[in-house]
Structure 1
Amino acid sequence: MDDELALSLYNIEPDELAELVQLVKQVHGFDFSQYSKASFKRRVIRVMQLKRLRFYDLKHRLINDEAFFNEFLKEITVNVTEMFRDPQFFKAMNEHVLPYISSYQNIKIWSAGCSTGEEVYSLAILLQMNNLLSKSFIYGTDVNTQVISDARKGIYNLRKVKQYAENYLATGLGGSLTDHFTLMYEAATIQQVYKQQTLFSVHNLISDQVFNEFQVITCRNVFIYFESQLQERILDLFYRSLCPLGFLCLGSKEAIRSDTFSKKFKVINKKENIYQKVGV
């Protein structure tokens, strides 16, 4: 089947896309209305193509098949991640954030949109290499139950870990990434010391509320899939979740573009979009 024919079979019209958003909200409680429409449409079509579903069949499966909805959710929400992704980000955290938070008696960090846990364990290793892990606790959250389950296990393909090792070396932390794993055959399991200081749970940035007060919040490669109004709502959630002078770390691909919130945060590192909360 050529690409044009495939596109015609699995294309979705704007009114159908709106209908799908409403259906998912009513049946499953997930509101995709303020996701980037182009990104949402592209990913819905991908699901239709992978599963060979016309629009009517897609709706039927979403209503009647819970397991299919979890697959659908995993495809729609972006789960591209790796350990020490963008090493310069971790170098910037090492330089600008960790020296400041080291004075706290207890450090709480929230990794929002953590996917399968690589970001959380990267943060844990960063803290350990600065002798801060024992007094730190990292909360990893994602909207998808399946990726949270994978994150809790902390087991990764050994080939992937060896690829991640290049990122780790670029941070300049010293040693090897595999020093922090237990290696068995084709799998690598994150060491227990890191699991003890982390908690993974399901949290929906769109609908759920503040659940703790944090010194640091990281949220990378998430905002770009949201419309500006939803970005503001999530920024408000992050602002209320940070302690006074807490840090919001977004990474090089995302930034605070809201006039309202640019006044509530001070830029600490412009290239890696690390901000510090101002006011109370």
Structure 2
Amino acid sequence: MPDVGLEDIEVELFVRALQLRHGYDFSQYSPASLKRRVLQLVQAQQTGTISELTARLLHEAGFLQTVLEGLSVPVSEMFRDPEVFRALREQVFPLLASYPQINIWQAGCAHGQEVYSLAILLEEAGLYERTQIYATDFNESALRHAQEGIYPAKEAQLWSRNYLAAGGSHTLADYYSARYELIKLDQRLRRNVIFANHNLVTDEVFCEAHLVLCRNVLIYFSDPLQDRTLALFRDSLVRGGFLCLGTRESLDFAPSAADFVPVDAGLRIYRLGPRTPGGE
């Protein structure tokens, strides 16, 4: 019999309870990452054990949202990895410009910083008026935060540097107002954004997209779930559409790699190529 620790058993029971009671399946998340986040949730909620956390999940009304917020990773910044946004602006946007209507799917949008980053660069490239951005996440709290577009002012200095490094042509301050140690992004940036709940683990194709961005989400998934998600993105893209992953992620070992051609492999930007022989 394999040597399974008590905490590992508790995590497995917690994940099972979450699926059976509420329909959220975390069984294919990276075990080490999932366990770490569950233990952080135990500490934050002062439940003592994972089993006590499971009991609250099963019996306490309203506790599900607390759990989902603890298990998701809504951490980002505007123009994170600015060289990626510069590459999108210089290598991808000129090709997207050939389409009369551009659909972009930002999967796992967290608190929305990268959504607004995209909107700003599209605005400056003269493409935003014919672009629809679909920003999705399974965390309702994160989606509400993203829709508000309000962030701590202390982040503005870093974000301004990122913006300029990404090739911004103005100043980031042109796009927000500051008050009470907070910044509020110009709500005009939201005019072509639809925020929606979508779960990459269980849901199907969300839209037909010319560009899919999903950055630093796959690192929390098991290999089979990564493969499923990449296939989902492939099936969402128009022929010749683009996929942008996080800089710590790669297609190298995924079956879906055969469907994509690197645009900038180092920055994890790919383009959907012709279907391989025998493919659908």
Q: TM-score, normalised by structure 1?
A: 0.92
Q: How many residues align?
A: 270
1:114-193 equivalent positions in 2, closer than 5 A: 114-193=109-188
In 2, are the aligned partners of 1:20 and 1:59 still within 8 Å (CA)? yes
* Deviation of the 1:160 alpha carbon: 1.7
Aligned match for 2:251, one of 237, 251, 256: 256
**Residues 56 and 92 from structure 1, CA distance in 2 versus in 1: closer, same or farther, beyond 3 angstroms?**
same
| CA shift digits 1:192-248 (9 cap, x unpaired) | 221111111110001011121000000001011111000010011101111110000
Q: What is the CA–CA distance in structure 2 between the aligned matches of 1:76 and 1:278, rounded to whole Å?
A: 35
**Structure 2 equivalent of residue 23 of structure 1:** 17
- My pick for the range that moved more, 206-215 or 166-175, is 166-175
In 2, are the aligned partners of 1:232 and 1:258 still within 8 Å (CA)? no
**Structure 2 equivalent of residue 266 of structure 1:** 261
**Structure 2 equivalent of residue 39 of structure 1:** 33
* Deviation of the 1:128 alpha carbon: 0.7
What is the aligned-residue RMSD (CA, Å)? Answer: 1.4
Aligned match for 1:223, one of 218, 224, 228: 218
Aligned-partner SS, 1:104: coil
* Deviation of the 1:65 alpha carbon: 2.7
Matched, 1:194 2:189: yes
In 2, are the aligned partners of 1:251 and 1:273 still within 8 Å (CA)? yes
**Structure 1 equivalent of residue 241 of structure 2:** 246
Q: What is the CA–CA distance in structure 2 between the aligned matches of 1:227 and 1:197, rounded to whole Å?
A: 33
**Structure 1 equivalent of residue 278 of structure 2:** none
- My pick for the range that moved more, 107-116 or 70-79, is 70-79
| CA shift digits 1:174-204 (9 cap, x unpaired) | 2211111133332222212211111111100
Matched, 1:203 2:198: yes
* Deviation of the 1:66 alpha carbon: 4.2
Q: Which runs of 5+ in 2 are unaligned?
A: 276-280
In 2, are the aligned partners of 1:102 and 1:132 still within 8 Å (CA)? yes
* Deviation of the 1:12 alpha carbon: 5.3
Report the residue type matching 1:65 in the other structure: E
**Residues 81 and 66 from structure 1, CA distance in 2 versus in 1: closer, same or farther, beyond 3 angstroms?**
farther
* Deviation of the 1:258 alpha carbon: 3.7
Q: What is the CA–CA distance in structure 1 between the aligned matches of 2:255 and 2:45, rounded to whole Å?
A: 43
Q: What is the CA–CA distance in structure 2 between the aligned matches of 1:183 and 1:107, rounded to whole Å?
A: 31
Q: Which runs of 5+ in 1 are unaligned?
A: 1-10
Matched, 1:49 2:43: yes
* Deviation of the 1:110 alpha carbon: 0.5
Aligned-partner SS, 1:218: strand
* Deviation of the 1:148 alpha carbon: 0.2
**Residues 279 and 68 from structure 1, CA distance in 2 versus in 1: closer, same or farther, beyond 3 angstroms?**
same
Aligned match for 2:232, one of 229, 237, 256: 237
Aligned-partner SS, 2:62: helix
Aligned-partner SS, 1:156: strand
| CA shift digits 1:64-113 (9 cap, x unpaired) | 23432212211211111010001011011112110100111011100000
**Residues 167 and 12 from structure 1, CA distance in 2 versus in 1: closer, same or farther, beyond 3 angstroms?**
farther
In 2, are the aligned partners of 1:105 and 1:135 still within 8 Å (CA)? yes
Q: What is the CA–CA distance in structure 1 between the aligned matches of 2:206 and 2:44, rounded to whole Å?
A: 37
- Percent sequence identity is 40
Q: What is the CA–CA distance in structure 2 between the aligned matches of 1:74 and 1:40, rounded to whole Å?
A: 13
Structure 1 ranges of 4+ moved more than 4 A: none
- My pick for the range that moved more, 108-117 or 169-178, is 169-178
Report the residue type matching 1:171 in the other structure: A
Q: What is the CA–CA distance in structure 1 between the aligned matches of 2:72 and 2:131, rounded to whole Å?
A: 28
